[in-house]
Amino acid sequence: MTVVRNSCHYGIAGYYATMATKAGLIGMTGTNARPSIAPTFGVENMLGTNPLTVGFPTDEEFPFVLDCATSITQRGKIEYYARMGMDTPAGMVVGRDGKAHTDSVAILDELNTAQAALAPLGGIGEDLAGYKGYGYATVVEVLSAALQQGNFLRALSGIGENGEKVPYHLGHWFIAIDPEAFMGLESFKKTCGDILRDLRGSQKAPGCDRIYTAGEKEYLTWCERKVTGVKINPAVQKEMMAVRDELGLTQYKFPFED
Amino acid sequence: MTVVRNSCHYGIAGYYATMATKAGLIGMTGTNARPSIAPTFGVENMLGTNPLTVGFPTDEEFPFVLDCATSITQRGKIEYYARMGMDTPAGMVVGRDGKAHTDSVAILDELNTAQAALAPLGGIGEDLAGYKGYGYATVVEVLSAALQQGNFLRALSGIGENGEKVPYHLGHWFIAIDPEAFMGLESFKKTCGDILRDLRGSQKAPGCDRIYTAGEKEYLTWCERKVTGVKINPAVQKEMMAVRDELGLTQYKFPFED
């Protein structure tokens, strides 16, 4: 295990877990982040979206990689809802009034001004076990600060005493576990693969034709995009063209303008 | 880290995490269990309630201990709902029809016959990120079987090929991390305590007078029960008296019969 302090955004958590799986190791990692999750029974943005990320090598073409925030969702998804003109599903965001907010455009502003916060995995309150997501976000916050004596919670807001922007210093942690120290890498990969195959092969819900395991959808997308390239939705296309025009670079055309 | 195979129910996961915190260590542990959680987009009970449990020593009277199933709830809670004549909140249990089941008495039977399964933390489907709870349950299943080459998933059902009861052999894993290998135990405990105090001290939701951190409610209950003893609800009292009467031990009276 190793830990880092005084860092900044470390990018894709799964990247580090995959470094381990490529080396035949189990990888675990997490980071704190600018405060955005409210604790259970709270409404103040206190914890980062704090991913708790785990990767396993398997005997398949791609590793198991669970790379996810300990909130239900993160700001990027709400930006997507706003661009697509969709409401945010109730339960993902809690306002200072303690209620679920759903107006995606308004939420983006409310998150900036701390008038709303993200709900932890499990949702607002205790009804569907939001305290578990809140607990896991706290686990990641502690591992990202206490071993390395780094900053945490409000000190990561990026806003100084007089409202000015200030640097924030994030912490990360990384664990690598060698299956060779137990019963060997090959048997680990086989059993891990067997578990994932059994899960995918189990009884589907009516109307669902497929069960996925963590990292599978991303692997399928990666395979597809190697051939097709990356699709850009119309709202983002419009933004890219607006930036191009603002910069007076109208001699350039994007492929999607054809 | 150490792992176990061919075990049985290991009791309270938090007990092992607390062994670590008492020794000034970070403790992590998990176990697989009889299959009861359905994967996202699935309806078959495949994964155990698979706790992902973490304990931290702090500078307070009690450690941080997050000891929770990676399902929203577990059978015991539904037994409680049934005893109290309450419905199970929608989203905790998925039937073979793919829908949320809420009749607590019926669910207990449906879980026995695999006509219903527990939903992972985050709920049924992907709407509120049920794939995250499903992912964490899978992480615990793999760590409980692949390093030690133990049994997993359906092999833990406790039911043989001809429907007879058979032993099931669970696996567990335990990680202990020594803060002295980083920047020291005392500074770890202080920062961990500071994080927990900041969370508790943050803005409450309207109508909520307190924010808790993991292990705090359990500590408070323990303190109270050292003085008051353990309260037993009327439904359990009735069951205890029925057993006593069945056994013909009517010369004995329970304290709650006064």
The domains found in chain B, sorted by start residue, are 1-71+119-213 (3.30.1370.60), 73-114 (3.30.60.50), 215-258 (no CATH)
Q: Do B214 and A39 touch (CB under 8 A)?
A: no
Coil, strand, or helix at residue B70?
A: coil
Pick from A22, A6, A10: nearest CA to A174: A10
pLDDT at B235: 87
Answer for the pair A7, A119: CB distance below 8 angstroms, yes or no.
no
Q: Do A42 and B179 touch (CB under 8 A)?
A: no
Instruction: Give the DSSP H or E segment for A75.
Output: helix A75-83
Is the Cα dihedral B196, B199, B201, B207 positive or negative?
Answer: negative
pLDDT at B258: 73
pLDDT at A71: 98
pLDDT at B252: 94
Over residues A26-55, mean pLDDT? 98
**Residue B99 to residue B86: CA distance in whole angstroms:** 19
Name chain B contacts of A198, Cβ cutoff 8 Å: 46, 152-154
Q: Do A146 and B73 touch (CB under 8 A)?
A: no
Q: Does A94 touch chain B (CB under 8 A)?
A: yes
- Listing DSSP states for B137-154 in one string gives HHHHHHHTTTTTT---GG
Answer for the pair B50, B31: CB distance below 8 angstroms, yes or no.
yes
Strand boundaries in B67-169, DSSP class E: 93-95, 116-118
Residue of B58, B139, B187 to mutate, testing the A interface (most A Cβ within 10 Å of its Cβ) = B139
pTM over 0.90: yes
Residue of B47, B144, B198 to mutate, testing the A interface (most A Cβ within 10 Å of its Cβ) = B198
Name chain A contacts of B52, Cβ cutoff 8 Å: 136
For the ranges A98-112, A199-213, A220-234, the lowest mean pLDDT is seen at: A220-234
- pLDDT category at B160 given cuts 50, 70, 90 is confident
| pLDDT tens-place string over residues B216-225 | 999 999 999 9
A224 to chain B, minimum CA–CA distance in Å? 22
What percent of chain A is predicted at pLDDT more than 90? 93
Q: Does A42 touch chain B (CB under 8 A)?
A: yes
**Residue B37 to residue B74: CA distance in whole angstroms:** 9
